Chains A and B, each alone.
Chain A
Amino acid sequence: MNIPVESYFILSTLLFFIGVYGFVARKNLISILMSVELILNAANINFVVANRFIFPEQLEGHIYSLFVIAIAAAETAVAISIIINVYRQKKNIDAKSINELKY
């Protein structure tokens, strides 16, 4: 089975833009968080594919994607805790309801 490299990139690009769309358009903070994960995963796919196709004998791409996954996990933990706190304060997790940062 030989999947051409372009299809990987098409997949990652699609994932990326789905993530972007979700990030910008969704109201729910959890959905936004999920969209961020999509974006990160799109990046991960790129790392892995690039590593596999360009420098097959090296491992940096793979390691980097592992890093991203680890960081994403941490980030998710922080984000979820923030979201829970927001929920406690506002009784909802609507992105529009948290705009105090402008002050």
Chain B
Amino acid sequence: MEQLASLAPYVLILPLCMFLILGLFGKKMCPKVSGILGTTVFGIVSVLCYYIAFKYFFSGDYQIGDTFQKVTLFNMEWLRMNQNLVISIGFLLDPLSAIMLIVISTVSLMVHIYSMGYMHGEGGFQRFYAILSLFSFAMLGLVVATNIFQMYIFWELVGVSSFLLISFYYFKHSAVRAAKKAFIVTRFADMFFLIGILILSYYTKTFDFGPLTQVTDGHVEIVNSTMSGVTLLGFPIISIAVFLIFLGGAGKSAMFPLHIWLPDAMEGPTPASALIHAATMVVAGVYLVARLFPIYSFEAPHVLEIIAYIGAFTSIFAAVIACAQTDIKRVLAFSTISQIAYMMVALGVSGYGGVDGLGYTASMWHLFTHAMFKALLFMAAGAIIHAVHSNEMDAMGNLRKKLPITHITFLIACLAIAGIPPFSGFFSKDEILVAAFETNKWVFAVEYFVAGLTAFYMFRLYYRIFWFGEPENGYEHEPHEAPLNMTFPLMFLAAVTVITGISWAFGKFSFTEFISSDYSSYEIHTHWNIALPSIGAGLVGILIATFLYLEKTGRPNKAVSYIKKPYIWAYNKFYIDEIYLYVTNNIIFQRICQPIAWFDRHIIDGFMNLLSWVTNKTSEETKEVQSGYVQQYAWVFIMGVITIVLLSINL
């Protein structure tokens, strides 16, 4: 305990220092030095994270019976609002944050290594590493948050580092636009998050996760005692509050209709996409819901149901779009949206405690596996882009011989995401389907279909890149395999994907021992009655993709011609971006901002100018009285005297 408490601050301090050092003095360093420095320091951070997580799970000090305890390693008062409301910066260790530490440090370290190769020779190399450090700092701070406001603080920081990374190629219009979009959309969602926090803290008088997630007798006591019975516009206030908080998460996790920023965010450098927009930051929303899960589960079950429906819709929506995209990073982006929605669904259908909480476990399990194989997919995509200098599928094909390592690792990741045993994705996805099956058949049906669709579009991607035949104009340069510092992360992550899957398959390793909704371990088995059909769906998807894309034939075009209309809609992402563009440009800017600016210049300021004009005009008019003609003055004077005399006579 003491030992961990003394180590824990360094997990946050080291990346922050790295950010400051690289940010302030990076320009003076040679790029290589800054890269190695950043990677080494993050290596140390990763080791610390592993050590902390390992100690937590395996030393037994943090368990009572088979229940894991929440430990606050340190908690430092940062800002005191009043007697009750205190924002602290602290380090909360529980199964949830421990598992997130592993995910973040692994993926981030791999990205640090990978970037040394991928970003080699780019301008702003040091800047890239500085922002990576900032992001790692923010993301680690987010997952270890001891209170909801600390989470919000780091939530904003990951948002801004995402902005900085997307706009890394700041001289490109598209990158700047994408960065602005990402920041403003998530910011919009964050506003709801903030309002949710305000409402929640107004009633409960605390930000602290401790009391907020303390379950007693089937209730979160502090929430139930203060908020039950209070309604606003007919809705229970607690539901409104947690729904608003969920909206914040929905923004970061790109749930429909706030998903529009994520595909565009692919304008950033590929390693950044792998880290932020595939593995870590985008799952923050899932993490947020998981963190507050007791409140959702006991105090606002209807909100949880809504989350399940939103998740289900998003997953199928994004999967359909992914089938029609031609930019490989965008396919992966939509696939990410779909998979995160899967995790949301899992939380949405989950209950609390024991086997009821299977969805919760499955969600976290899927978060873990997905982070690994999706980061792998992105980095492999990066290696491919590196080799062919294009994002478009049309510029690729037949690369399996030329990029052997990338090919194998990419295939492993595709199999994992398609849900083929014994790769890790199969197990996590299977548990989600089981949880959905037991709670909500509709959601289950959708997710089952999405599983097949996922297999289809991933293998479409795979065949288009590695088989299908060379592009029409051939390659400008002969594509060649990436250097070791890029392939090593691929192999490492592929190994993780395979090993976790296999050890699960042989029963050596069960995720339910480590993470569950009430932190007590429980037993589950693979449900073959659901697993087999889901494998079937995956295989069907793969078969269709093989049929269409294995070799260069007219089949894809023919298939498209049968579904021309839906294809065009899906290709254009169902025109959601255009709707947003219309709303922002034509409604917000032209119908709100412009009139307000006009009103200010012409009405408010016009009124002030009118006042001065009236003053000027009045004096202009009355000054005629002062003609300067002595005789006129004398005349007025005399008349005045006569009037006064006459008046006084009358009186």
- Which A residues lie at the B interface, using CB under 8 A? 20, 23-25, 32, 95-96, 98-103
Contacts and interface: CB of A to CB of B under 8 A. Distances in A.
Contacts of A103: 628
Nearest to A99: B628
Contact of A95 (B623, B626, B631, B638): B631
Contacts of B629: 95-96, 99
Nearest to A100: B628
Contacts of B630: 32, 95, 98
A102 B632 CA distance: 12
B627 A99 contact: yes
A20 B638 contact: yes
Given A20-B634, A100-B628, 5 more contacts: A32-B630, A95-B631, A99-B627, A102-B628, A103-B628
Closest 10 CB pairs of A and B: A99-B628, A102-B628, A102-B626, A101-B628, A24-B635, A24-B631, A99-B629, A24-B634, A95-B631, A23-B634
A96 B629 CA distance: 6
Interface in B595-651: 623, 626-631, 634-635, 638
Contacts of A102: 623, 626-628
Contacts of A24: 631, 634-635, 638
17 contacts: A20-B638, A23-B631, A23-B634, A24-B631, A24-B635, A24-B638, A25-B631, A32-B630, A95-B629, A95-B630, A98-B628, A98-B630, A99-B628, A100-B628, A102-B623, A102-B627, A102-B628
A32 B631 CA distance: 9
Chain A facing B: main interface SS: helix
B646 to A, nearest CB: 16
Contacts of A99: 627-629
A102 to B, nearest CB: 3
B440 to A, nearest CB: 89
Nearest to A20: B638
Nearest to B625: A102
Contacts of A95: 629-631
Chain B facing A: main interface SS: helix
A64 to B, nearest CB: 21
Nearest to A103: B628
Nearest to A102: B628
A96 B627 CA distance: 10
A103 B627 CA distance: 9
Contacts of B627: 99, 102
B620 to A, nearest CB: 13
B462 to A, nearest CB: 91
Contacts of A25: 631
Contacts of B628: 98-103
A98 B629 CA distance: 7
A103 to B, nearest CB: 8
A101 B633 CA distance: 12
Nearest to B638: A20
Contacts of B631: 23-25, 32, 95
A87 to B, nearest CB: 16
A100 B638 CA distance: 22
A23 B629 CA distance: 12
Nearest to B623: A102
B633 to A, nearest CB: 9
Contacts of B623: 102
Contacts of A101: 628
Nearest to A17: B638
A16 B629 CA distance: 21
Contacts of A96: 629
Nearest to A97: B629
A24 B634 CA distance: 7
A24 to B, nearest CB: 5
B319 to A, nearest CB: 84
A102 B622 CA distance: 12
Nearest to B628: A99
Interface string B58-89: 00000000000000000000000000000000
A102 B635 CA distance: 16
Contacts of B626: 102
A36 to B, nearest CB: 10
A25 B635 CA distance: 9
A101 B626 CA distance: 9
Interface in B288-335: none
A100 B634 CA distance: 16
Interface in B577-592: none
A96 B632 CA distance: 10
